[in-house]
Structure formats: structure tokens, C-alpha cells
């Protein structure tokens, strides 16, 4: 029989291992549920749902909203859908495989990639193919568009691609790991930011494709970076940390939440940084890295929140609720929908648009328009450009 000191030591070691590995198992369970589904959501559909459009599979894609108030959103059924503001179908385009990424819009074109490794440019009004570009792997990464019409996205083949508006390759950067992270562009500072899964590397490239700097986290960086008005960039990681860097790569601060962060952060007009984590928490963080408040939804968060013009925060959770929170972290209301929310919401005129895991694109009545701050929603703006300092036009 082991002596008491050894038994206590083994118990202590077991407890430490349990604490260390619990975030890992939580993340793996969250991944399993997001891929294969969990128990059907049982709560009632909220009365503020204006309409729902049914696709044939899960909707992870975050809707893009055009100046005409048309919606563009992908589905795991392989179609990109264009809807008008009342949810009527304008057209749909078949990509041949799942569309997880969020489409980005230019004046006449919608850009997106698919699981089959093909990147598409489709006419925004007719739904006709303009061109396509083939990569060597799954395209989870959402595209970013610069002011000259250049397009940037990552692939599972380990490359970040830069194309011109005609679909011709400008350059590609080899990162040697799956790029699920969607790139963010800061043209004022000649920078493109993105992360990688294996190796947990956070990159800064020049718009020419040359490396400026790279930093390493202790876990995958599939979270997409966000850029504030001062050019500081924010990354979340599976190591549970949120990283803030100056444009030159100097670390401003690192916040350890203890749970994987795969959603992008968003920013308010007042400089507050908001992040959702796999432990079900929404964090509000000051610009110096100190936590202002934390709100627990009770289920893991993979969707990026959105900030309204009145600084109301809208956060979707895998438990099938959208939470409306004040800037002080107080619950205003929660809205029940039909299934888990992995799609990051977009705000139109007093309407929140998002997808659910049962295949619906939803429109929810809310009391706010979208904030005018740069990066107050997933991909930065209503058209999902992934471009910093691009002001929202109502």
C-alpha cells in the first residue's frame, strides 16, 4: 500500500492534470457538437423573429449586407444564397461543397470559398459565375478585400492567397499550416494579419506578401484578427489567451481566459474590446487589457458578437439564444431561436441577421442599428470586407 504522502502527491498531480486538461476536453466537446450537432433546442422561437429562410443544411456563414439591403450567406448545403430584406430568394449559386466562410462584397461581386478548395467570384445581382480559382485545400477562411479590389484568403493547403479583381494570382505566402483564420487588412500601415492552426502562429505581412513579423501562441489561432482605430491588432487562440499587439508586433497585453477563443473580437466606439469564449463567457475588456465584466451564457460561444449603435452588444451562443447586453454587462433581453448559433450576426436597420445549425437564415427585430466604429462586427463591416478603418454607410 502506498504511504499517505505518496497518495496525497498522486491526488495532487491528478487534480493538476484535470485542471490543465479540462479546457482541452471542453473545446473538443464543443467542436464535436458544432460538427455533428447536439440535442435539439427545446425553447420557444422568439416573437421578434421577423422571418426565417430554410436552406438544406447547417449555416455557419455570417451574412453580408449590401447597400440595397440584400443579404448574402452560405450554407453547408453548398449554395450561396442572395435574399432581399424580407427573406425572399433573389438567386442561389451552387459551389459544389460546403460554404463555411462568410462572403465579402464589392460593388458588383460577391466573393467566397468552399470546402472543395475553390474560390468563387459571382455577380452580385444575377448570381452568375464571373471566375473561379482553385487552391489545394478546404477554404474555411473568409476573404478580405482592399481598396484596389485585391482579394486575400487562406486555405487548408497552408497558403495565404492574394488575387486581383480578375481572379489572377498576385502572390501566395506559405505558412505551412491550415489557415482557418480570416485575414484582416490595414492599408494605412501596409499590413495583412492572419493566424494558423498548427504552430499557433500570428502573422503580419506587407500588402506585397513579404513577412513583417510573426508571433507564436500556445494553441491554434483559428480566430480571425480584429484591428482598432490605432492600428492595434487582436488575436484569440485555443490556448485561452487574447493577444493585443501594436502594428510593429510589440505585445501590448495578453489576457488568459482559461478557455479557447475562436470567435473574433469586436470593438465599441469607446474602445471596449468584446470577446466570446468556449466556456460560454462574453468578456468586456478595457484597452489596457483589464476585464471590465464577464457575462455567462451557459454554453460555448463560437460566433463573433456584434455591437449596436447604442452600444448594445448582441452575442449568439450554442444554446440557441441571442443575448442583448448593455455596455455594463447587464442583460437587456435574450431571444430564443430554433438551434445553436455558430453564425456571427450582422446588423441591418433594426434587424439582426444570422444563421442557425438547423439550416435557417434568420432575421430578428432589435432596437439598434449597427455601430459606426471600425470592427464592431465580424469581418469589420456590413459587407464583410475585412478592412480596417472602413466606415459603415447606413
Contact 67, 393 (CB under 8 A): yes
Contact 314, 366 (CB under 8 A): yes
The predicted model gives 365-377 an average pLDDT of 86
What pLDDT does 30 receive?
Answer: 45
Contact 240, 257 (CB under 8 A): yes
User: How would residue 3 be classed by pLDDT, with cut points 50, 70 and 90?
Assistant: low
What pLDDT does 195 receive?
Answer: 98
Per-residue pLDDT tens for 127-154?
999 999 999 999 999 999 999 999 999 9
Whether the per-residue pLDDT at 35 is higher than 60: the answer is no
Burial 240-249, CB ≥16 within 10 A → b, else e:
bbbbbbebee
Beta strands 351-355; 346-347: pairing state: antiparallel
User: According to CATH, what is the number of the domain 23-86+186-365?
Assistant: 2.120.10.30
Whether the per-residue pLDDT at 305 is higher than 60: the answer is yes
What pLDDT does 369 receive?
Answer: 85
Which residues are within 8 A (CB) of 321 and not within 5 positions of it... i.e. 6 or more apart?
Answer: 43, 297, 334, 335, 336, 337, 341
C-alpha cell of residue 15: 487534480
What pLDDT does 46 receive?
Answer: 93
The predicted model gives 109-126 an average pLDDT of 98
What pLDDT does 294 receive?
Answer: 98
User: How would residue 389 be classed by pLDDT, with cut points 50, 70 and 90?
Assistant: confident
Name which residue leads in pLDDT, 393 or 276. Answer: 276
C-alpha cell of residue 301: 460561444
In the chain, where the domains are located: 23-86+186-365
Whether the per-residue pLDDT at 14 is higher than 90: the answer is no
Q: Is 233 helix (H, G, I), strand (E, B) or coil?
A: strand
Name which residue leads in pLDDT, 323 or 4. Answer: 323
What pLDDT does 88 receive?
Answer: 98
Whether the per-residue pLDDT at 63 is higher than 80: the answer is yes
Amino acid at each position: 500500500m502506498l504511504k499517505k504522502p505518496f497518495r496525497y502527491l498522486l491526488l495532487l498531480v491528478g487534480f493538476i492534470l484535470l485542471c490543465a486538461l479540462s479546457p482541452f476536453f471542453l473545446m473538443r466537446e464543443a467542436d464535436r457538437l458544432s460538427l455533428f450537432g447536439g440535442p435539439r433546442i427545446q425553447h420557444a422561437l422568439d416573437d421578434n423573429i421577423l422571418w426565417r429562410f430554410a436552406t438544406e443544411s447547417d449555416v455557419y456563414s455570417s451574412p453580408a449586407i449590401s447597400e440595397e439591403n440584400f443579404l448574402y450567406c452560405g450554407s453547408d448545403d453548398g449554395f450561396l444564397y442572395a435574399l432581399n430584406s424580407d427573406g425572399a430568394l433573389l438567386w442561389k449559386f451552387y459551389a459544389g461543397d460546403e460554404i463555411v466562410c462568410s462572403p465579402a462584397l464589392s460593388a458588383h461581386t460577391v466573393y467566397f470559398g468552399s470546402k472543395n478548395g475553390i474560390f468563387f467570384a459571382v455577380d452580385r445581382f444575377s448570381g452568375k459565375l464571373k471566375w473561379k480559382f482553385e487552391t489545394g485545400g478546404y477554404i474555411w477562411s473568409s476573404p478580405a478585400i482592399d481598396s484596389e479590389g485585391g482579394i486575400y484568403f487562406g486555405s487548408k493547403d497552408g497558403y495565404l492567397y492574394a488575387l486581383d479583381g480578375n481572379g489572377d494570382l498576385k502572390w501566395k505566402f506559405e505558412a505551412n499550416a491550415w489557415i482557418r483564420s480570416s485575414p484582416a487588412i490595414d492599408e494605412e500601415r501596409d499590413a495583412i494579419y492572419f493566424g494558423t492552426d498548427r504552430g499557433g502562429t500570428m502573422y503580419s505581412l506587407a500588402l506585397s506578401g513579404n513577412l513583417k513579423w510573426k508571433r507564436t501562441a500556445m494553441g491554434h489561432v483559428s480566430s480571425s484578427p480584429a484591428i482598432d482605430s490605432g492600428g492595434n491588432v487582436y488575436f484569440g487562440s485555443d490556448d485561452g489567451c487574447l493577444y493585443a499587439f501594436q502594428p510593429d508586433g510589440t505585445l501590448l497585453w495578453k489576457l488568459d481566459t482559461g478557455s479557447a477563443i475562436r470567435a473574433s473580437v469586436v470593438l465599441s466606439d469607446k474602445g471596449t474590446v468584446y470577446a466570446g469564449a468556449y466556456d460560454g463567457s462574453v468578456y468586456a475588456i478595457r484597452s489596457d487589457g483589464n476585464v471590465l465584466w464577464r457575462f455567462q451564457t451557459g454554453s460555448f460561444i463560437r460566433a463573433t458578437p456584434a455591437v449596436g449603435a447604442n452600444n448594445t452588444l448582441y452575442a449568439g451562443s450554442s444554446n440557441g439564444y441571442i443575448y442583448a447586453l448593455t455596455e455594463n454587462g447587464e442583460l437587456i433581453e435574450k431571444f430564443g431561436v430554433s438551434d445553436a448559433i455558430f453564425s456571427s450576426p450582422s446588423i441591418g436597420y433594426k434587424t439582426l441577421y444570422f444563421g442557425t445549425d438547423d439550416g435557417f437564415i434568420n432575421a430578428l427585430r432589435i432596437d439598434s442599428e449597427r455601430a459606426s466604429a471600425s470592427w464592431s462586427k465580424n469581418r469589420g463591416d456590413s459587407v464583410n470586407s475585412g478592412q480596417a478603418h472602413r466606415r459603415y454607410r447606413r
